[in-house]
Amino acid sequence: MPSRLLLHILAGTLSLGAVLPAQAAETHVAVAANFTGAAKEIAQAFKAKTGDEAVLSFGSTGQLYTQISQGAPFEVLLAADEARPKKAITNGLAVPDSRFTYATGKIVLWSQDPNLVRGEATLTGGNFSKIAIANPTAAPYGAAAVQAMRALKVYDQLEPRIVQGNNIAQTYQFVATGNAELGFVALSQVANTTEGSRWVVPGDLYDRIRQDAVLLKKAADSKVAKAFVAFLKGPEAARIMERYGYGTGVS
Protein backbone atom coordinates (compact mmCIF):
# COMPACT_ATOMS: atom_id res chain seq x y z
CA MET A 1 0.00 0.00 0.00
CA PRO A 2 1.24 3.55 -0.69
CA SER A 3 2.71 5.34 2.28
CA ARG A 4 0.98 8.31 3.90
CA LEU A 5 3.71 10.57 2.49
CA LEU A 6 3.17 9.32 -1.09
CA LEU A 7 -0.58 9.79 -0.80
CA HIS A 8 -0.01 13.31 0.48
CA ILE A 9 2.27 14.12 -2.50
CA LEU A 10 -0.22 12.68 -4.98
CA ALA A 11 -3.07 14.65 -3.45
CA GLY A 12 -1.01 17.85 -3.60
CA THR A 13 -0.11 17.22 -7.25
CA LEU A 14 -3.76 16.72 -8.20
CA SER A 15 -4.73 19.85 -6.31
CA LEU A 16 -2.03 21.88 -8.07
CA GLY A 17 -3.15 20.57 -11.47
CA ALA A 18 -6.68 21.70 -10.74
CA VAL A 19 -5.63 25.34 -10.34
CA LEU A 20 -3.14 25.57 -13.23
CA PRO A 21 -4.44 27.86 -16.01
CA ALA A 22 -5.56 26.26 -19.24
CA GLN A 23 -3.06 26.42 -22.07
CA ALA A 24 -3.60 29.46 -24.27
CA ALA A 25 -5.14 28.79 -27.67
CA GLU A 26 -5.07 30.75 -30.91
CA THR A 27 -7.21 31.48 -33.91
CA HIS A 28 -6.04 32.58 -37.36
CA VAL A 29 -7.82 35.64 -38.70
CA ALA A 30 -7.70 37.03 -42.25
CA VAL A 31 -8.03 40.82 -42.04
CA ALA A 32 -8.72 43.41 -44.75
CA ALA A 33 -5.75 45.77 -44.99
CA ASN A 34 -7.74 48.90 -44.11
CA PHE A 35 -8.50 47.39 -40.70
CA THR A 36 -4.85 46.78 -39.76
CA GLY A 37 -4.46 49.29 -36.93
CA ALA A 38 -7.80 48.59 -35.30
CA ALA A 39 -7.38 44.81 -35.65
CA LYS A 40 -4.00 44.85 -33.91
CA GLU A 41 -5.46 46.74 -30.95
CA ILE A 42 -8.50 44.48 -30.80
CA ALA A 43 -6.27 41.39 -30.86
CA GLN A 44 -4.21 42.80 -27.99
CA ALA A 45 -7.35 43.53 -25.98
CA PHE A 46 -8.70 40.04 -26.72
CA LYS A 47 -5.48 38.44 -25.49
CA ALA A 48 -5.45 40.59 -22.36
CA LYS A 49 -9.00 39.52 -21.55
CA THR A 50 -8.90 35.84 -22.49
CA GLY A 51 -5.25 34.80 -22.67
CA ASP A 52 -5.89 33.48 -26.17
CA GLU A 53 -4.30 34.91 -29.29
CA ALA A 54 -5.74 36.08 -32.58
CA VAL A 55 -3.03 35.57 -35.20
CA LEU A 56 -3.64 38.20 -37.88
CA SER A 57 -2.85 38.10 -41.60
CA PHE A 58 -3.48 41.21 -43.71
CA GLY A 59 -4.24 41.76 -47.38
CA SER A 60 -6.87 42.94 -49.81
CA THR A 61 -10.23 41.27 -49.40
CA GLY A 62 -9.96 39.78 -52.88
CA GLN A 63 -6.52 38.31 -52.17
CA LEU A 64 -7.63 36.89 -48.83
CA TYR A 65 -10.72 35.29 -50.33
CA THR A 66 -8.59 33.63 -53.01
CA GLN A 67 -6.30 32.23 -50.32
CA ILE A 68 -9.29 30.92 -48.34
CA SER A 69 -10.74 29.26 -51.43
CA GLN A 70 -7.37 27.56 -51.97
CA GLY A 71 -7.32 26.11 -48.46
CA ALA A 72 -5.44 28.70 -46.39
CA PRO A 73 -5.78 27.86 -42.67
CA PHE A 74 -7.86 30.91 -41.70
CA GLU A 75 -10.73 30.55 -39.25
CA VAL A 76 -12.27 34.03 -39.36
CA LEU A 77 -12.51 36.52 -42.24
CA LEU A 78 -12.77 40.24 -41.55
CA ALA A 79 -13.53 41.58 -45.02
CA ALA A 80 -13.67 45.11 -46.38
CA ASP A 81 -16.98 44.37 -48.08
CA GLU A 82 -20.10 42.27 -47.67
CA ALA A 83 -19.79 40.41 -50.98
CA ARG A 84 -16.95 38.03 -50.12
CA PRO A 85 -18.38 36.84 -46.79
CA LYS A 86 -21.68 36.16 -48.59
CA LYS A 87 -19.78 34.31 -51.30
CA ALA A 88 -17.89 32.29 -48.69
CA ILE A 89 -21.18 31.04 -47.27
CA THR A 90 -22.65 30.34 -50.70
CA ASN A 91 -19.56 28.35 -51.70
CA GLY A 92 -19.51 26.32 -48.51
CA LEU A 93 -16.39 27.96 -47.08
CA ALA A 94 -18.07 29.60 -44.11
CA VAL A 95 -20.56 28.74 -41.40
CA PRO A 96 -24.14 29.63 -42.45
CA ASP A 97 -25.72 32.48 -40.46
CA SER A 98 -22.35 33.58 -39.04
CA ARG A 99 -22.01 36.70 -41.21
CA PHE A 100 -22.41 40.12 -39.56
CA THR A 101 -21.33 43.72 -40.18
CA TYR A 102 -18.54 44.56 -37.77
CA ALA A 103 -17.68 48.03 -39.14
CA THR A 104 -18.53 50.63 -41.74
CA GLY A 105 -15.71 52.51 -43.44
CA LYS A 106 -15.07 55.87 -45.08
CA ILE A 107 -12.63 57.09 -47.71
CA VAL A 108 -10.57 60.25 -47.49
CA LEU A 109 -8.48 62.14 -50.02
CA TRP A 110 -5.14 62.60 -48.28
CA SER A 111 -1.73 64.13 -48.96
CA GLN A 112 1.47 64.56 -46.97
CA ASP A 113 1.53 68.13 -48.28
CA PRO A 114 -0.39 70.25 -45.75
CA ASN A 115 -1.42 72.69 -48.48
CA LEU A 116 -2.45 70.36 -51.30
CA VAL A 117 -5.88 68.99 -50.42
CA ARG A 118 -8.62 71.61 -50.42
CA GLY A 119 -11.83 69.67 -50.86
CA GLU A 120 -13.14 68.30 -54.14
CA ALA A 121 -11.60 71.21 -56.05
CA THR A 122 -8.23 69.52 -55.46
CA LEU A 123 -9.16 66.92 -58.06
CA THR A 124 -9.62 69.50 -60.81
CA GLY A 125 -6.82 71.84 -59.76
CA GLY A 126 -4.12 69.88 -61.54
CA ASN A 127 -1.43 70.49 -58.91
CA PHE A 128 -0.28 66.87 -58.86
CA SER A 129 1.03 64.27 -61.28
CA LYS A 130 -0.06 61.05 -59.53
CA ILE A 131 -3.05 60.04 -57.45
CA ALA A 132 -3.12 56.67 -55.68
CA ILE A 133 -6.06 54.34 -55.23
CA ALA A 134 -6.36 50.70 -54.21
CA ASN A 135 -7.06 48.13 -56.90
CA PRO A 136 -10.83 48.59 -57.39
CA THR A 137 -11.28 44.95 -58.40
CA ALA A 138 -9.76 43.49 -55.24
CA ALA A 139 -10.22 46.29 -52.70
CA PRO A 140 -13.61 47.85 -51.87
CA TYR A 141 -11.95 51.12 -50.82
CA GLY A 142 -10.51 51.35 -54.33
CA ALA A 143 -13.94 50.72 -55.84
CA ALA A 144 -15.33 53.49 -53.63
CA ALA A 145 -12.62 55.88 -54.87
CA VAL A 146 -13.56 55.19 -58.48
CA GLN A 147 -17.25 55.72 -57.67
CA ALA A 148 -16.47 59.05 -56.01
CA MET A 149 -14.40 60.29 -58.95
CA ARG A 150 -17.11 59.25 -61.40
CA ALA A 151 -19.77 60.97 -59.28
CA LEU A 152 -17.66 64.15 -59.37
CA LYS A 153 -17.17 63.69 -63.15
CA VAL A 154 -13.37 63.75 -62.89
CA TYR A 155 -12.50 60.09 -63.44
CA ASP A 156 -11.78 60.33 -67.17
CA GLN A 157 -9.58 63.35 -66.58
CA LEU A 158 -7.66 61.71 -63.73
CA GLU A 159 -7.36 58.16 -65.06
CA PRO A 160 -3.94 58.71 -66.71
CA ARG A 161 -2.55 59.90 -63.35
CA ILE A 162 -3.86 56.98 -61.28
CA VAL A 163 -1.42 54.56 -59.65
CA GLN A 164 -2.88 51.46 -58.01
CA GLY A 165 -1.86 49.73 -54.83
CA ASN A 166 -2.63 46.04 -54.45
CA ASN A 167 -4.55 46.95 -51.31
CA ILE A 168 -5.32 50.02 -49.23
CA ALA A 169 -2.20 49.57 -47.08
CA GLN A 170 0.06 49.77 -50.13
CA THR A 171 -1.97 52.73 -51.43
CA TYR A 172 -1.33 54.58 -48.18
CA GLN A 173 2.40 53.85 -48.52
CA PHE A 174 2.44 55.30 -52.02
CA VAL A 175 1.23 58.61 -50.60
CA ALA A 176 3.25 58.45 -47.36
CA THR A 177 6.50 57.89 -49.26
CA GLY A 178 5.81 60.54 -51.91
CA ASN A 179 5.40 58.13 -54.84
CA ALA A 180 2.03 59.83 -55.34
CA GLU A 181 1.26 63.34 -54.17
CA LEU A 182 -2.17 62.35 -52.91
CA GLY A 183 -4.53 59.42 -52.81
CA PHE A 184 -7.81 57.96 -51.66
CA VAL A 185 -7.13 56.06 -48.46
CA ALA A 186 -9.23 54.73 -45.61
CA LEU A 187 -10.13 57.27 -42.94
CA SER A 188 -8.90 54.74 -40.37
CA GLN A 189 -5.35 55.09 -41.72
CA VAL A 190 -5.14 58.81 -40.95
CA ALA A 191 -7.72 59.18 -38.19
CA ASN A 192 -5.07 59.44 -35.47
CA THR A 193 -2.67 61.83 -37.18
CA THR A 194 -2.82 65.53 -38.02
CA GLU A 195 -0.10 65.30 -40.67
CA GLY A 196 -0.72 66.58 -44.17
CA SER A 197 -4.07 67.67 -45.55
CA ARG A 198 -7.28 65.74 -46.13
CA TRP A 199 -10.84 65.80 -47.33
CA VAL A 200 -13.30 63.26 -45.97
CA VAL A 201 -15.25 62.25 -49.06
CA PRO A 202 -19.03 62.68 -48.61
CA GLY A 203 -20.75 59.34 -48.17
CA ASP A 204 -23.29 60.05 -50.91
CA LEU A 205 -20.55 59.87 -53.55
CA TYR A 206 -19.94 56.13 -53.13
CA ASP A 207 -21.71 53.03 -51.96
CA ARG A 208 -21.66 52.45 -48.25
CA ILE A 209 -18.62 50.38 -47.26
CA ARG A 210 -20.10 47.68 -45.06
CA GLN A 211 -17.34 45.48 -43.71
CA ASP A 212 -18.63 42.02 -42.87
CA ALA A 213 -17.06 39.22 -40.87
CA VAL A 214 -17.74 35.52 -41.15
CA LEU A 215 -16.72 32.38 -39.26
CA LEU A 216 -15.04 29.99 -41.68
CA LYS A 217 -15.85 26.28 -41.87
CA LYS A 218 -12.46 25.33 -40.45
CA ALA A 219 -13.53 26.97 -37.18
CA ALA A 220 -17.05 25.54 -36.92
CA ASP A 221 -16.06 23.84 -33.65
CA SER A 222 -13.36 26.28 -32.50
CA LYS A 223 -14.12 27.85 -29.12
CA VAL A 224 -11.38 30.45 -29.45
CA ALA A 225 -12.50 31.54 -32.94
CA LYS A 226 -16.06 31.92 -31.69
CA ALA A 227 -14.80 33.81 -28.64
CA PHE A 228 -12.90 36.23 -30.88
CA VAL A 229 -16.01 36.83 -33.00
CA ALA A 230 -18.02 37.49 -29.83
CA PHE A 231 -15.34 39.92 -28.61
CA LEU A 232 -15.43 41.72 -31.97
CA LYS A 233 -19.15 42.34 -31.44
CA GLY A 234 -18.63 43.73 -27.95
CA PRO A 235 -18.25 47.24 -26.52
CA GLU A 236 -14.47 47.12 -26.02
CA ALA A 237 -13.86 46.39 -29.71
CA ALA A 238 -16.45 49.03 -30.67
CA ARG A 239 -14.57 51.70 -28.73
CA ILE A 240 -11.34 50.81 -30.54
CA MET A 241 -13.04 50.92 -33.94
CA GLU A 242 -14.60 54.30 -33.24
CA ARG A 243 -11.17 55.74 -32.45
CA TYR A 244 -10.09 54.71 -35.93
CA GLY A 245 -13.01 56.48 -37.60
CA TYR A 246 -15.21 53.45 -38.22
CA GLY A 247 -18.91 53.19 -37.70
CA THR A 248 -19.80 50.00 -35.88
CA GLY A 249 -22.33 47.43 -36.99
CA VAL A 250 -24.86 48.91 -39.39
CA SER A 251 -24.94 52.28 -37.64
Domain boundaries, the chain: 21-104+211-248, 105-205
pLDDT at position 224: 98
* Average confidence score pLDDT of the chain: 91
CA distances from 233 to 16, 26, 46, 84, 240 (A): 35, 18, 12, 19, 12
What strands lie across the sheet with 162-165, from one edge to the other? 162-165, 131-134, 182-186, 107-111, 197-200
Homologous superfamily of domain range 105-205 = Periplasmic binding protein-like II (3.40.190.10)
pTM, rounded to two decimals: 0.78
The predicted structure's pLDDT at residue 4: 56
Question: What is the fold, at CATH topology level, of the domain defined by 21-104+211-248?
Answer: D-Maltodextrin-Binding Protein; domain 2 (3.40.190)
Enumerate the H helices of 20-125 as residue ranges: 36-50, 61-69, 83-90, 122-125
pLDDT given for residue 5 in this prediction: 46
Model confidence at 13, in pLDDT bands (50, 70, 90)? Answer: very low
